[in-house]
Structure formats: structure tokens, C-alpha cells
């Protein structure tokens, strides 16, 4: 899958009805899993316009409707976790697809991991019958390599592995171009990486990765911005 197709697919997914929700309502519905965030920086950003973020439920419903013969479930388990190099996987059977993730993850990592595995299903349903390992032991390596190197130079026509495509697509979905004005407002107010990550409810590692690449020519940041802008202009 080409990197450009990854960004375009994420842009389209986030454009579906009910995917972008009010952050306050989302937190209220998930109080059992999410601590209330009362930091001044978030209150300042949302004082004029409520903060928004991406909800996973509508995405799961939309992707499930693409191949209704599959019953998609999401379930946490305790048998594995980051310390063993596995965050989650997709178990696909004849009429079902189970997204399994580590119950040891915090809420932000849980959101990201479930979304990444959901993107594997989207790729399969949209681009053909791709093979998905029951447990993709390469997932942690792709993730750790991308975050550790931080500086990632990639071309829009680069061919990505299924694992890398799902990883980047999940990031593009949970940190969508349509909400990056909110990100820019937070930067103007001096927000830290952790405050931004909490606002979008994604792992702070990805905000660090994104910000590290902002000023580099043809970096992930620059390429993502350009492709998203092109897609928006064509609508």
C-alpha cells in the first residue's frame, strides 16, 4: 500500500458521520477509564470552541458495514502486553474478526492499538484479501523503530508493509488533519507534548514524533500536511 493511499484513506474515514465528537462528552462517557483533565491549557483552548477528537465506535461500525459477513468484536486480554512485545492483534475466522489487545495498556495506548488493528481490517476490506498474522510479532519493532528514530523521511509513493500502513493510518485517523488547527492553538498557548497527547487521547510518543519532524523538508509531517491538503482541495 502506498503512503499516499494511507493518508487519503485516513482522511476519508475521519470524514464519515459521527466520527469527530466533542471531547468533553467522550470523556464523560468513559469516566471509568479516563481521568478528568482539568489542566488550564485545555480549558483555554476549549473556551471558545469545544475540543474535538475521534471516536472509535463509529469507525468500527463503518468498517464493519464494509464486510457485514464478519462480526467484529473488541476484547482485552491479560496474557500479553508491551513487556512481551505485543500490543494487540486481529484474529480473523470465517465469519468473525476479533480485535484483541493487552489489558495492561493505558487508555491512550488502548485507543491507538484498537484503531491500528481496525485499520488492518479496513485495508483488508478495501484493498483485497491481505494476509494478517494471528499475532504480528513485528508490530512492536515497526512501532519502536519509527518512534525511536523520530526523523522519518518517506515518499508519498513509498510502498509500505501492511503493518507500517496500519500504524501510520491509525495515527492519521486519531490525529487527523481536520483537527490540527486545534493542535496549532495548543502550540500557541505553550502546550507540552503530554498536554497535547491528553487532549487527543493518543500516546505522547506520537506527538513527540510528529513535532520532531515539523521543520524537516519532506519529513513525515510535511508530507502528511501536503497530501491531506491535496485531498481536501479535491472535494
- Is residue 207 within 8 Å of residue 193, measured between CB atoms? yes
- Is residue 174 within 8 Å of residue 115, measured between CB atoms? yes
In this prediction, residues 97-118 reach a mean pLDDT of 91
Enumerate the β-bridge partners of residue 76.
Answer: 101
Task: State the pLDDT at residue 33.
Answer: 59
Find the domain containing 111 and state its range. 3-233
Q: Rounded to whole angstroms, how far apart are CA atoms 97 and 114?
A: 13
Q: Tally the domains of the chain.
A: 1
Q: Rounded to whole angstroms, how far apart are CA atoms 33 and 30?
A: 6
pLDDT band at 227 (very low <50, low <70, confident <90, very high): very high
pLDDT tens string 165-203: 898 899 999 999 999 999 998 888 888 888 899 889 999
Backbone angles phi, psi at 37, to 5 degrees: -110, 110
Task: State the pLDDT at residue 129.
Answer: 56
pTM: 0.86
Rg (C-alpha) for the chain, rounded Å, is: 17
Amino acid at each position: 500500500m502506498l503512503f499516499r493511499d494511507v493518508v487519503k484513506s485516513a482522511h476519508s474515514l475521519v470524514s464519515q458521520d459521527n466520527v469527530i465528537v466533542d471531547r468533553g462528552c467522550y470523556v464523560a462517557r468513559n469516566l471509568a477509564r479516563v481521568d478528568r483533565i482539568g489542566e488550564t491549557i485545555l480549558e483555554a483552548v476549549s473556551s471558545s470552541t469545544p475540543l474535538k477528537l475521534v471516536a472509535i465506535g463509529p469507525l468500527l461500525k463503518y468498517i464493519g458495514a464494509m464486510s457485514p459477513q464478519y462480526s467484529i468484536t473488541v476484547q482485552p486480554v491479560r496474557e500479553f502486553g508491551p513487556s512481551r512485545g505485543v500490543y494487540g492483534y486481529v484474529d480473523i475466522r470465517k465469519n468473525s474478526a476479533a480485535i484483541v489487545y493487552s489489558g495492561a495498556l493505558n487508555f491512550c495506548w488502548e485507543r491507538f492499538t484498537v484503531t491500528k488493528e481496525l485499520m488492518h481490517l479496513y485495508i483488508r476490506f478495501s484493498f483485497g484479501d491481505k494476509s494478517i498474522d494471528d499475532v504480528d510479532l513485528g508490530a512492536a519493532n515497526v512501532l519502536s523503530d519509527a518512534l525511536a528514530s523520530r526523523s522519518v523521511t518517506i515518499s508519498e509513493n513509498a510502498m509500505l508493509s501492511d503493518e507500517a500502513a496500519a500504524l501510520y493510518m491509525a495515527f492519521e485517523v486519531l490525529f487527523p488533519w481536520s483537527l490540527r488547527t486545534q493542535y496549532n492553538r495548543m502550540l500557541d498557548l505553550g502546550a507540552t507534548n503530554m498536554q497535547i497527547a491528553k487532549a487527543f487521547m493518543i500516546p505522547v510518543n506520537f506527538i513527540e514524533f510528529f513535532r520532531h519532524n515539523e521543520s524537516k523538508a519532506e519529513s513525515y509531517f510535511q508530507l502528511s500536511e501536503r497530501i491531506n491538503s491535496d485531498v481536501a482541495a479535491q472535494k
